[in-house]
Chain A
Amino acid sequence: MNPVREIVRAIRSTLVLWLLVAVIYPFAMLAISQIAFPYQANGSLIKNAQGQVIGSALIGQPFTSDRYFNSRPSSTSYSTADPKKDETGVLKTGVSGASNLAPSNRALLDRINGKTDPDPKQAIAGDLPRLKQAGIQPTADLLYTSGSSLDPHITPEAATAQIQRIAQARKLSPDRLQTLIAQNTDDRSFGIFGEPGVNVLKLNLALDALS
């Protein structure tokens, strides 16, 4: 066969298929999604009473204080940065990432236990001391960083372990908090697939709405 004809056919076929699967298909899906499911298609955004976007129901936020249910540790601090000191441009694009620490890596235990070092830059605070100080019985999800660093959930056990502390800080009854946790738990799909998770951002928003 004539090689020139073969090449021309390859190029023409490439362009035709490109038009079909890379132009027509995605733009048609965009149009359908935006018309039929605008809430999901735009990122399941949560708005406040003034209509301003304050987060996404699918994306977690960092919480470490006593007044809020704490979220999981995150290797990117939930894609957050101080807008005045954002040299690496986190806020420009948003980021995701994981620790990628092997189970045998010393750094994993150092991150959990903390590490003292004469050089303050080398010292690590550690999640375990922080949780112990806050009086939280640690669960696996509160010590291990998530895959995406944006995990919106903690396990129901991790939420329950924090009730006492929040009840004291906010002067609320533990029963009330237990109800809030149940209301903000995303169950398994069809009751079967996946694991139940407490949506920390939604739970803390509900907490603020109470007091």
Chain B
Amino acid sequence: MMQGWIQIGLTLIIILAITPIFGGYIARVYLGQRTFLDRVLNPVDRLIFSLSSVQPQAQMTGWQYARAILFSNLAMAILLFLMLMLQGFLPLNPTGLGAPSWDTALHTTISFMTNTNQQHYSGETTYSYFSQMLGLGFMFFTSAGTGIAVAIAFIRGLTGRPLGNFYVDLTQAITRILLPISIVGSIVLVAAGTPETLAGAIVVPTLENPNISQSIAIGPIAHFEIIKELGENGGGFFAINSAHPFENPNGLTNLIQILAMISMPTSLIYTYGVIADNRKQAWLVFGMVFIIYVAFIIVTAVGEYQGNPLVNSILGSSQPNLEGKEVRFGWAQSALYAVTTTGTMCGAVNAMLDSFMPAGGFILLSNLFLQIIWGGQGTGTAYLFSYLILAVFVTGLMVGRTPEFLGRKIEKNEVVLTSFLLLLVHPICVLFPGAITLAFPEQLGGISNPGFHGLAQVVYEYASAAANNGSGFEGLADSQPVPTALWWNLSTCFSLLGGRYVPIVALLLLAEGMSQKQPVPFTTGTLRTDTVLFTSVTAGVILIMGALTFFPVLALGPIAEGFQLLRGA
């Protein structure tokens, strides 16, 4: 057991070490300071700008920035949808796959465009190498880049700078951050055992019974895998995602994947500290999230380590819950991966979340509800600082002072936007469609695990869509050709789009409003936001305002299931 905790502890230490280095680098990129890649990449950037007729000096307003995001994302979505529907006529299709159903293609397109990568299909049997490499792989970069751009624009706005130019921020996110790391990372992954080939499935007779054949699905996986994690995308090449031995063959690849998915959201907090020139506040906010993150890991890992009491009574001893888990990862790496992937909105899995113990299910759902235990690529960081604004407002009310944040007054506009953003959009996108589905469990639900867990399956699917996470309690019958697939494909699109673009527009408008305010001078009466006390209040605001909305669901789902298991039924 100790060995498992040592692995988790070492991973956390590596995360702490990476954050200031990587976060500092991102800040240098977006402050326009020199970086070591400039010599190679400046000409590349210039070429991209001239080919796409972008004037890099032109500043955008919040609304222009938002329109640029919407137009470019729409163009990308149309390109991807066409590729998916026409894959039967396109090359790189060794297994001869035809077009998916229109609703599957639509759901896949929207899901990948929104950086969610919720998958209502199996990679092996649905999409060709062309669709995966040239289609889904494209969205891996652009959706992640869009998230980073939003975070940077938001930080610029908060610190009183103009927001910047979306196309410049997107291009630099790709050429300076995502692509260089992906190139190095995919070579390391191949060396560690991940395949990278265009050959089709390999069929061999099995050793025990040569009359039975095994079909080994393969493909161009390594380059796909690294950006899948780094961009918080999470859409697996295969049905079973990073549990598949080709996607994630050993402890080293697993470590790389965990670091890749968590390094961006942790580092962006530090990037904020550099740009705002207040590293103390960045570390305080980082520490607050880190403490919750570690607590979540411990709860999940203990649950998995203790195992399923019903099965333990059969085994005659307490053994870890290995249902849906790989031997090479065991309880520790499976729990660490699960908490990280749901917290960072990556959504890749190396163990099946549906089969986690109720303690784990509780934590994973809480991650999706809170959205800031690191949070999505870029957007999570922006949410985090929106919570700070909300906390400033609440504490301002308590002490009777005009609330200020970073020397700017928080007024009606800011409070309306943040509370709308944090307290209304997410519950609407999760609970409304969830309630409709639960009202018609036979016709719409497709629940596979009966009882309390079934409720969690339905709510998880919408929470995952709205939080742009993409993981799932995958027993749910949401893939064609089952009858409930059409409803799932279309209804989750509402949550996917609502959970992505409404907050992005609100964040940009909020940032713009802040950047245009006159700074107020710092006096002894100013409420300091870079203190332990204020950070603790923020944590309270997050838990009370963010989590209580969803507490009834948690009580009826994983908590009730936990009591049921304890009773031994």
A residues bordering B, Cβ < 8 Å? Answer: 1, 6-18, 20-23, 25-26, 28-30, 32-34, 36-37, 40-45, 53-56, 58-65, 68, 72, 78-83, 89-106, 108-109, 112-113, 128, 138-141, 143-155, 186, 188-190, 192-195, 197, 201, 204-205, 208
Give chain B residues whose Cβ lies under 8 Å from the Cβ of A43: 195, 197, 202, 216, 218, 246
Q: Evaluate contact between A41 and B311: CB separation under 8 angstroms.
A: no
Q: How many residues of B contact A (CB 8 A)?
A: 127
What's the minimum C-beta distance from B83 to chain A, rounded to whole angstroms? 10
Q: Evaluate contact between B328 and A186: CB separation under 8 angstroms.
A: yes
A-B contact number at CB 8 A? 400
Q: Which of B305-364 contact A (CB under 8 A)?
A: 307-308, 310-311, 314-315, 319-330, 332-334, 349-352, 354-358
Q: Evaluate contact between A20 and B174: CB separation under 8 angstroms.
A: yes
Query: Is B535 interfacial (CB-CB < 8 Å)?
Result: no
Give chain A residues whose Cβ lies under 8 Å from the Cβ of B182: 25
What's the minimum C-beta distance from A180 to chain B, rounded to whole angstroms? 15
Give chain A residues whose Cβ lies under 8 Å from the Cβ of B451: 104
Q: Across the interface, name the chain B residue whose C-beta is closest to A198.
A: B327
| Residue among A14, A34, A81, A154 making CB contact with B215, cutoff 8 Å | A81
**Known pairs A102-B453, A108-B311; A25 contacts B223 (CB<8 A):** yes
Query: Is B243 interfacial (CB-CB < 8 Å)?
Result: yes
Query: Is B396 interfacial (CB-CB < 8 Å)?
Result: no
What's the minimum C-beta distance from B88 to chain A, rounded to whole angstroms? 14
Complex formed: what's the CA distance from A34 to B203 in Å?
21
| Residue among A18, A37, A95, A140 making CB contact with B191, cutoff 8 Å | A37
Give chain A residues whose Cβ lies under 8 Å from the Cβ of B251: 188-190, 192-195
Q: Evaluate contact between B190 and A104: CB separation under 8 angstroms.
A: no
Q: Knowing that A82-B212, A93-B215, A101-B354 are A-B contacts, what are 5 other residue pairs whose CB atoms are under 8 Å apart, sorted by A's residue number?
A: A30-B223, A36-B191, A43-B246, A146-B326, A189-B255
Complex formed: what's the CA distance from A206 to B193 in Å?
21
Complex formed: what's the CA distance from A43 to B238 in Å?
14
Give chain B residues whose Cβ lies under 8 Å from the Cβ of A96: 122, 124, 217, 238-240, 243-244
Give chain B residues whose Cβ lies under 8 Å from the Cβ of A90: 215
Give chain A residues whose Cβ lies under 8 Å from the Cβ of B250: 186, 189, 194
What's the minimum C-beta distance from B247 to chain A, rounded to whole angstroms? 9
What's the minimum C-beta distance from A192 to chain B, rounded to whole angstroms? 6
Interface of A (DSSP majority class): mixed
| Residue among A6, A26, A44 making CB contact with B68, cutoff 8 Å | A6
**Known pairs A22-B134, A192-B10, A197-B328; A148 contacts B245 (CB<8 A):** yes
Q: Which of B253-289 contact A (CB under 8 A)?
A: 254-255
Give chain A residues whose Cβ lies under 8 Å from the Cβ of B327: 72, 141, 146, 151, 153-155, 195, 197
Give chain B residues whose Cβ lies under 8 Å from the Cβ of A40: 190-195
Give chain B residues whose Cβ lies under 8 Å from the Cβ of A103: 308, 310-311, 321, 323, 355-358, 561, 565
Complex formed: what's the CA distance from A209 to B501 in Å?
60
Give chain A residues whose Cβ lies under 8 Å from the Cβ of B224: 26
Q: Scoring B residues 197 to 234 as 1 if CB is less than 8 Å from chain A, else 0, what string do you get?
A: 11101111111100111111110101110000000000
**Known pairs A93-B95, A101-B449; A193 contacts B7 (CB<8 A):** yes
Give chain B residues whose Cβ lies under 8 Å from the Cβ of A14: 72, 75-76, 79, 142
